[in-house]
Amino acid sequence: MDDNLNIPRIELNGEYDLAQREEMASLFEALRPDGPAVIDLTKVTYVDSMFLSELIKLRRRLREHPITLAGANGNVADLLRLVSFDELFELSD
């Protein structure tokens, strides 16, 4: 049995900046605080400081559980590493 099937997963698509703050907050708030989560960034092309801030809020809320940021590529992956999010989250291809 694959345990990954039970892990909540959010698949994002496109650009995430201040205009999507409410959407991001709602999506992240909907995640259960009692287990791990996966945020799929495969189709994300741009993020700004709002997105990073919402990730930090999620990290604090799920502090006891792993959060995987999956599929980040290009500038998004570079930014996540630049701000040391690879120390707060699990980054995977």
**Taking the mean position of all CA atoms in its chain, how far away is CA 12?**
9
Domain boundaries of the chain, sorted by first residue: 7-29+36-92
Averaged pLDDT of the chain: 93
pLDDT digits (tens, 9 = 90+) for 29-60: 999 999 999 999 999 999 999 999 999 999 99
CA-CA distance, 10 to 86, in Å (whole number)? 18
CATH architecture of 7-29+36-92: 2-Layer Sandwich (3.30)
pLDDT over 70 percentage in the chain: 95
pTM: 0.91
Residue 2: pLDDT over 90: no
> Is residue 42 within a helix (H) or strand (E), and if so which, with residue range?
strand 37-47
Q: Which pLDDT does position 6 carry in this prediction?
A: 85
